[in-house]
Amino acid sequence: MTISADLLRGYTDTIIMQQLTDTDGYGYGISRTIAEKSEGMVQLKEATLYTAFRRMEENGYIRSYWGDEATGARRRYYSLTDPGRAKLAEEKDAWEETRRVMDTLLG
């Protein structure tokens, strides 16, 4: 079972930015980490992931750069910017408020 895309919509960027708080990451690695941490309940499709990366980069929340892999294909890495950290904090506060209201409404 996975969490529906409708339920995740609006939180995708926040989930991805959270994964970038401690270290830079690349698409497949971030996607795999999210799936592992959620015990398979959240699985981001490739198109969703890269659309989110593009949107967050355009908004200045992340930046990308090409890695310098010695073996294998080069990977595009993403890192969280200072505006991204501020946006993440804002979104986490909004999530806490949303969760509080939903807990009240749903008992």
CA angle 78, 82, 88 (to 5 degrees): 80
The two three-digit tokens of residue 91, written as one number: 């979104």
The amino acid present at 10, given as its one-letter code, is G
Determine the structural domain holding residue 33 and report its residue range. 5-106
- Alpha-carbon gap, residue 21 to 88, rounded angstroms: 9
Distances, alpha carbon 68 to alpha carbons 38, 62, 65, 76, in Å: 30, 19, 10, 9
**N-term to C-term CA, the chain:** 23
Residue 89: per-residue pLDDT:
98
Q: Tell me: the pLDDT tens digits for 1-44?
A: 677 777 778 899 999 999 999 999 999 999 999 999 999 999 99
Please tell me whether the overall predicted TM-score, pTM, comes out greater than 0.75 for this model: yes
Instruction: Identify the CATH number of the domain in which residue 23 sits.
Output: 1.10.10.10
What's the total number of domains in the chain? Answer: 1
